[in-house]
Amino acid sequence: MAMEVKEMITGGRTALGIEFGSTRIKAVLVGEDNSPIASGSHEWENRYENNVWTYSLDMIWKGLQDSYAKLAEDVQNQYGVALETVGSIGFSAMMHGYMAFDKAGELLVPFRTWRNTITAQAAEELTGLFQYNIPQRWSIAHLRQAILNKEEHVKDVDFFTTLAGYVHWKLTGEKVLGVGDASGMFPIDTDTKDYNAKMLAQFDELVAGENYPWKLRDILPKVLVAGENAGTLTEEGAKLLDVSGKLKAGIPVCPPEGDAGTGMAATNSVAVRTGNVSAGTSVFAMIVLEKELSKVYPEIDLVTTPDGSLVGMVHCNNCTSDLNAWVNLFKEFMVTMGMEADMNKLFGALYNKALEGDKDCGGLVSYCYFSGEPVTGFEEGRPLFARKVDCKFTLANFMRTHLYSSLAALKIGLDILFKEEKVQADEIFGHGGLFKTKGVGQGILAAAMDAPVSVMETAGEGGAWGIAVLASYMKNKAEGESLSDYLNGKVFAGNKGSKMEPDPADVAGFDEFIRLYKAGFPMEQAAVENMK
């Protein structure tokens, strides 16, 4: 087997995917059957500087180079060959945010990530103008807010894009974006698979009085759908990616995508009536819709699959950060007591302990808001834990509370789709860090959604594997083969994953927890106002 893989690598019959997550940059190399054969990763963390969540350009490139170097080292160690070429490459990253460049290609203001909640005025104005939900983290909301703030840099904008679009541009020279990622910059017309022409004109008219030297379409990246060629790795790009200089230029690169799109590819949920939930630092659910929603909901974003189908998305800024902080506290306790702290074992033990807790968490409640949470109406967040005097304060209830809290805002948004809009989903796939401990996060998500949830064996690979699969699809698809057909036939054939039905008692318990959670919003608001 190792010999076969070695020949695949040296013959360039592989696909490489690299994804910039919010805490980790991961590189995955897949073989001809789309199974992972090597990987590498780099840990990183956003910074809060001058009231903006950001990553520096230096962090972006060092992280990319480190994750690639570790992947190349993994290839060398496992198969005894140097990585000099691959069949195709794809880059993906956290969606949304704002990276604006001048004519010389220089960054005009620090990268504003999806995590910022600083565009409320613009988001509300554009939602009203377009009659289409424009969330605060969307790129167009950031641009409009910069105009409203009379920021000096706006007149100099020659191009603005997402993180994935930026990395792709620097490595290929192409200012393009996959339709899924583009749909988080500006609304997409799912018939034309391009930006909505009417809304582009409305925006230009809105800012006409500012006399900027640009029209909106001219500064946005070109939209491509999955399977299209998005350029090749340049000589300069190859050196930027692989500092050892071994990687050869000329490798075809697929359209850069957002983490939502790669999550859909990684869970085989690009077809209508399928859906997935990605749960890590942030959490979002994507349901591929059969038709438009009946009205505009501020809690529901409308984005697209990597091949341009309409998706209802509930995106919450906060998920596992607070949960992880508490687990780290338990680790610190163990170290203080002279015990060895294996994080995998600790997570597993605490997650499984949660299953012993009361279905409604026994009178405990928490808010995992490290940052603002637009779904529940919070501009800023403060992590907060509270309990009733007569609560059942046990470790099991404590852990269960934090797991529920990780998905609580998501549940509030999804209730609109399922209960008010009567959206149908035949299958939901879970992926991301929350699902690593078998059966725990999966069962709690099934209770939150009151729907069956499946987790694939590949769930831990996540978006880096998803973008590698999209790169493979571009290179290896048959004439006229749709993305859904490719995924079903060449990637997931025979892999249905493990499915969990919702437990009615858990569903009722989660509903009761949500009642207490909503009742406690004034506490969270008081924390925001008073804990400066």
Nearest one of 216, 275, 293 to 410, comparing CA atoms: 275
pLDDT (tens, 9 = 90+) of the chain, 532 residues, equals 788 999 999 999 999 999 999 999 999 999 999 999 999 999 999 999 999 999 999 999 999 999 999 999 999 999 999 999 999 999 999 999 999 999 999 999 999 999 898 999 999 999 999 999 999 999 999 999 999 999 999 999 999 999 999 999 999 999 999 999 999 999 999 999 999 999 999 999 999 999 999 999 999 999 999 999 999 999 999 999 999 999 999 999 999 999 989 989 988 999 999 999 988 888 989 999 999 899 999 889 999 999 999 999 998 999 999 999 999 999 999 999 999 999 999 999 999 999 999 999 999 999 999 999 989 999 899 999 999 999 999 999 999 999 999 999 999 999 899 989 999 888 899 888 888 888 999 999 999 998 889 987 755 567 899 999 999 999 999 999 999 999 999 998 877 678 999 999 999 999 999 999 999 999 999 999 999 8
- Measured between alpha carbons, how far is 32 from 13 in angstroms, rounded to an integer? 6
pLDDT at 496: 65
- Report the sign of the C-alpha dihedral through residues 504, 509, 512, 514, in that order: negative
pLDDT at 460: 54
Could you write out the three-class secondary structure of 406-465?
Answer: HHHHHHHHHHHHHHHCCCCCCEEEEECHHHCCCCHHHHHHHHHHCCCEEECHHHHCHHHH
- Measured between alpha carbons, how far is 429 from 406 in angstroms, rounded to an integer? 17
CATH 3.30.420.40 residue ranges of the chain are 268-317+413-500
- Measured between alpha carbons, how far is 446 from 228 in angstroms, rounded to an integer? 36
Report the predicted TM-score, pTM, of the whole model to 2 decimal places: 0.84
- Measured between alpha carbons, how far is 265 from 309 in angstroms, rounded to an integer? 13
- Measured between alpha carbons, how far is 483 from 450 in angstroms, rounded to an integer? 29
The DSSP secondary-structure symbol of 374 reads G
Does 268-317+413-500 carry CATH code 3.30.420.40? yes
Nearest one of 269, 266, 234, 57 to 163, comparing CA atoms: 57
